[in-house]
Amino acid sequence: MPQYITLKNVALGYEPVGFVSERIFPLITVEGTPLEVKKFGKEMFKQYMSRRAMFAASNIVRTSRPEYLYVRIEPRDQVRMFDKEHEPTNEQPDKTQMTKEAKTGVYLDVEIDNASRLFNINNYPTGNKITLSGTDQFSDYTNSEPIQVVDEGMQAVSKKIGKKPNCMLLPEDVFNVIKWHPQLCMKSLTGQETAATIDYLKEKFSIERIEIASSLKLNETSGDFEWIFSKHIELMYVNPNPNPSVREMSFGYRLQEKGYPYVDDEIEGLDKTKVTAVRYNEKFEDVILAAEAAYFIKDAIA
């Protein structure tokens, strides 16, 4: 199967604008699929005897069988084509641009899938979620308490996994509202209120990272663009290690099969004398391994 090195490098180096999934699911390469991945449990928080009497046998910890997640990684691909006979005569196929468009198409599908899972309140255990309504919503600038709500969420996660969330997933529409909240907006030297910046919000919420989810999808019925992530906020612990391992605590990981992505043009049923085509091939799965490592704030704004 031909693999175009130049186009593969384009695909590897090109990041679709606004997509947030790959920034909250650290990438780990795996040899193949299917596989079993250990879910994070509470063994590390149990107290076991460690003091050993003189000449006594070593302490042996017998733990219960851990819970595993069965993961099957399905291939993903998308083809972009250039019709040599129907395009304007002065146009030439641009395989670099076609590769970018194909990759964007794959990542858009992933982004929509993840928004559906991450913003589903039923995917979080008791104590790791809250639903706001009425005056509690952050769009009520008079009565709501965004700092308190976020802090309570941070503490809830800390009690479950021993680590505070280090990442906030903040949709663009929520950011546009809360940056003017009286608890969060900034003051100029003249005392005038100005919109909060991301860095200022990180300081106010005492969190290391804020990822703005600004990706869009097209509503094919109305023809309008819509936010993929909208209205809700999620706090999570994301493994900061640049070379992560599934043995390290994290809300989730992106498990990518070795050898992917790649680009090819071996597409059945196309007449290459008339059509130029590029296929972007990917094979990964975004898996949630520790739902307790996140706190979901549903309906953060009205």
N residues, the chain: 302
Residue with tokens 């969330």: 165
Residue 289 is given by DSSP the state S
To 10 degrees, the CA torsion angle through 108, 113, 116, 117?
-130
Give me the domains of the chain, ranges plus CATH numbers: 5-47+65-298 (3.90.1690.10)
The whole-angstrom distance between residue 20's C-alpha and the CA centroid of its chain comes to 5
pLDDT, residue 202, reads 98
The answer to whether residues 258 and 240 touch, using CB atoms and an 8 Å cutoff, is: no
> How distant, in Å, are the alpha carbons of 24, 47, 112, 282 from that of 130?
21, 31, 23, 35
pLDDT tens string, the chain, 302 residues long: the values are 456 667 877 777 777 767 999 999 999 999 988 788 878 766 555 566 667 778 777 877 666 667 888 899 999 999 999 998 887 766 788 899 999 999 999 999 999 999 999 999 999 999 999 999 999 999 999 999 999 999 999 999 999 999 999 999 999 999 999 999 999 999 877 778 999 999 999 999 999 999 999 999 999 899 999 999 999 999 999 999 999 998 899 999 999 999 999 999 888 888 888 999 999 999 999 999 999 999 999 999 99
Can you give the pTM of this predicted structure? 0.87
Nearest to 228 by CA among 72, 28, 16: 16
- Cα separation of 23 and 38, whole Å? 22
What's the one-letter identity of residue 228? I
As given in the structure block, the two tokens for residue 227 are 């936010």
Handedness of CA 51, 53, 54, 55 (dihedral sign): negative
As given in the structure block, the two tokens for residue 182 are 């009286």
